[in-house]
Amino acid sequence: MCCVRSLPTLFIARMKWTEFFIPTAKECPADAVVPSHQLMIRAGLIRQVVAGAYTYLPLGLRTLRKVETIVREEMNRAGAIELHMPAMHPIEWWEQTGRVAAMGDVLVRLASVSPDDWRSRTCLGPTHEEVITEIARAYVRSYKQLPINLYQIQTKFRGEARPKSGVLRTREFLMKDAYSFHLTKEGSGGLDEGYQKMYEAYCAIFSRCGLPYIAVQAESGPIGGDASHEFMVATDAGEDYLVHSEDGKYAANLERAEVAAVMDVGQGGNASLKEVHTPELKTIDEVSAFLKCMPQQMIKTMIFEADGEPLVALVRGDHEVNEAKLRRIAGIKKLSPAEPELIREVTGAEVGFAGPVGINCRMIADQAVTVMHDAVTGANKTDYHVTGVNPERDFQIKESGDIRMAIPGDRAPNGSPLIFKKCIEIGHVFKLGTKYSVSMEAQCLDHVGKPRPFIMGCYGIGLNRIMAAAIEAFHDDKGIIWPMSIAPFQVVICALDIKDDAVMSLAQKLHDELIASGIDVILDDRDARPGFKFADAELIGFPLRITIGKKGLADGLIELTVRQTGETQKIKPAEAVAKVQECVGAACI
């Protein structure tokens, strides 16, 4: 797809630097740590208003609108229908779906002056499942109206405790969210088919935005549902981790990542149980140091409250419980770490001395625990641990499976070594099932006139994050290197001698010809030194730079520089438009 043909006319206009607003800066705030935050401020793309909320200055808005245009084109191409929902929601809808508690402080509530004030019953939407489900409940009566996919591009609000990293973690952001409704999961018109369409649309969106994305299996989190994928961009600025196999056949986010079984080494198993006094030593590191053993020789016993009942999870000392996996294997809905009172009730000891020997409640062991020998664990007695613990002899494992977080050194289910990368999430697709339709009693009549709840999918993209991810993926010590498709301008013309009529006449002529040919261009007509102009062009990251000066024109030549490679070629002015079209087209295929 060639950007020369597809760039919307709203981006094509006569534009001079002196008539635009581009507040570039040499310095950036001390709290701007990651490259995208630093460069977005220095290049004059954004300005912080309050913590977690930014103004998008003209250059930043141009890129954001180009991202939005690509998203809208691909969603429309996939058959989704655009609407616009409000940011304010009645809190009772969120209570119906149980997400007031699930979201916690992330859900932004409006402050009220009295219990009867309307503000006390209103929240600002972090996402729109409840609102869209109510729309379907009101208007979709029959299976004949299905499937349907409705989407919007709308501002969202989330109560981030510590917004940081510029637009990567904010309290206000722009999201494209789509929601599909189906009568069935499989078959023509079913959720699986609709999900695949959205998955492919997302691949097209991120490819057109020029992002080096990876699609991985993911957990659904508070959104809900039984299957989901995240779209990630690997970068050191990310706060998430993706895990992929060395052979490239498996990829997941860290929460979802499955691991191959740990093999039984066949050593030990003959030691007898021995109680050891470990006063005030509660953590794995403290106890392993005191007993001169490795953390992987210990059994970590974690107590949870699961749907109102105690649940014990066992993992190796160097592993961490993956609550999403545990919830799935246990078949429970609500899981939370046990309070000290429940821990004392289950173990008979203070917190920090729990162990599996003698505990009488439901217990699930990680697979790695099932092959341990002569282990160390809590004695269910305050200030005591036991050594020589062997699962087959000393306690019964009725339930086991993969309930832990993957760590370096693990292997994928197919045996290939796992590779860990920090990343930014830019999109997420979910198979919601009937989570929202059942709780909100949203249903339609099927082929035989029987009411059935909608089967739903939802699909989100963070537009602001696409901008930041592109900068994280493509920058150098000079500044941003924008992908052609989302650059604020595709071309900058640097006129070096603005008082020279020949220079300015040619600069204006090329500017107008490029616009006429569908190229997005800005003319730098400032009375400034060449080095100053070049530095700004490289900081902002315009993909192509045309340089026109008296010296070059004396030889009948101008320069064309590619920001990504730094390659500069001298060309005749008559060749400029064709050369630029060639570069733009090649970059946007």
For residue 262, what are the contacts with CB-CB under 8 A and spacing of at least 6? 367, 368, 371
AA letter at 245: S
What domains, with CATH codes, occur in the chain?
A: 3-18+489-587 (3.40.50.800), 43-229+426-471 (3.30.930.10), 274-401 (3.90.960.10)
pLDDT of res. 221: 60
pLDDT at 1 over 50: no
Grouping H, G, I as helix, E, B as strand and the rest as coil, residue 72 is: helix
pLDDT (average), residues 163-171:
93
pTM for the whole thing? 0.89
Q: What angle do CA 416, 330, 183 make, to 5 degrees?
A: 90
Alpha carbon distance 123, 139 (integer Å):
24
pLDDT at 327 over 60: yes
Grouping H, G, I as helix, E, B as strand and the rest as coil, residue 416 is: coil
pLDDT of res. 524: 97
pLDDT of res. 2: 40
Per the omega criterion (within 30 degrees of 0), is the bond before 310 cis?
no
The pLDDT-based confidence of 226 (bands split at 50, 70, 90) is low
Of the chain, the percentage scoring pLDDT greater than 90 comes to: 86
State the number of CA atoms in the 13 A half-sphere of 40 facing the CB: 32
pLDDT at 376 over 70: yes
Cα-to-chain-centroid distance, residue 60: 20
Alpha carbon distance 313, 373 (integer Å):
18
pLDDT at 344 over 90: yes
For residue 402, what are the contacts with CB-CB under 8 A and spacing of at least 6? 258, 259, 325, 329, 366, 367
Residue of 270, 516, 503 lying closest to 393 (CA atoms): 270
Output the six-digit token pair for 554: 């004396």
Output the six-digit token pair for 19: 């008539």
Which has the minimum average pLDDT: 28-42, 47-61, 106-120, 319-333? 106-120
- What are the Cα distances from residue 238, in Å, to 140, 388, 421, 575? 40, 42, 9, 42
Cα-to-chain-centroid distance, residue 329: 25
The pLDDT-based confidence of 28 (bands split at 50, 70, 90) is confident
pLDDT at 5 over 50: no
Alpha carbon distance 79, 227 (integer Å):
22
E strands, 335-446, are: 335-337, 363-366, 375-378, 384-389, 399-401, 418-433, 443-445
Instruction: State pLDDT tens for residues 68-80.
Output: 999 999 999 999 9
Q: What is the dihedral of CA 35, 206, 518, 584, to 10 degrees?
A: 70
Mean pLDDT over each residue of the chain, to the nearest integer:
93
Alpha carbon distance 525, 543 (integer Å):
18
pLDDT of res. 292: 94
pLDDT at 390 over 80: yes
For residue 228, what are the contacts with CB-CB under 8 A and spacing of at least 6? 217, 218, 219, 220, 428, 429, 430, 431
pLDDT (average), residues 487-500:
96
Residue of 95, 97, 103 lying closest to 120 (CA atoms): 95
Instruction: State pLDDT tens for residues 531-580.
Output: 999 999 999 999 999 999 999 999 999 999 999 999 999 999 999 999 99
**Which helix or strand (DSSP H or E) is residue 199 part of?**
helix 191-208
Q: Are strands 451-453 and 443-445 parallel, antiparallel or unpaired?
A: antiparallel
Concatenate the DSSP letters of all residues of 147-181 into one string: SEEEEEEEEEE---SS-BTGGGB-SEEEEEEEEEE
Alpha carbon distance 552, 527 (integer Å):
18
Alpha carbon distance 393, 442 (integer Å):
52
Query: Is the CB of residue 362 less than 8 Å from the CB of residue 311?
Result: yes
Instruction: State pLDDT tens for residues 495-519.
Output: 999 999 999 999 999 999 999 999 9
Query: Is the CB of residue 520 less than 8 Å from the CB of residue 490?
Result: yes
pLDDT (average), residues 304-310:
95
Output the six-digit token pair for 367: 């697979």
Residue linked to tokens 């655009």: 82
Grouping H, G, I as helix, E, B as strand and the rest as coil, residue 230 is: strand
Instruction: State pLDDT tens for residues 77-113.
Output: 999 999 999 999 999 999 999 999 888 999 999 887 7
What single-letter DSSP state applies at residue 298?
Answer: B
Overall residue count recorded for the chain in this entry = 589
What single-letter DSSP state applies at residue 164?
Answer: B
The pLDDT-based confidence of 530 (bands split at 50, 70, 90) is very high
> Helix axis angle, 58-77 relative to 191-208, nearest 10°?
140
pLDDT at 224 over 60: no
Instruction: State pLDDT tens for residues 393-406.
Output: 999 999 999 999 99
pLDDT at 311 over 90: yes
For residue 236, what are the contacts with CB-CB under 8 A and spacing of at least 6? 422, 472
Q: What angle do CA 455, 457, 462 make, to 5 degrees?
A: 165
Of the chain, the percentage scoring pLDDT greater than 70 comes to: 96
Residue of 213, 202, 214, 205 lying closest to 474 (CA atoms): 213
pLDDT at 44 over 50: yes
Alpha carbon distance 285, 479 (integer Å):
44
pLDDT (average), residues 426-451:
95
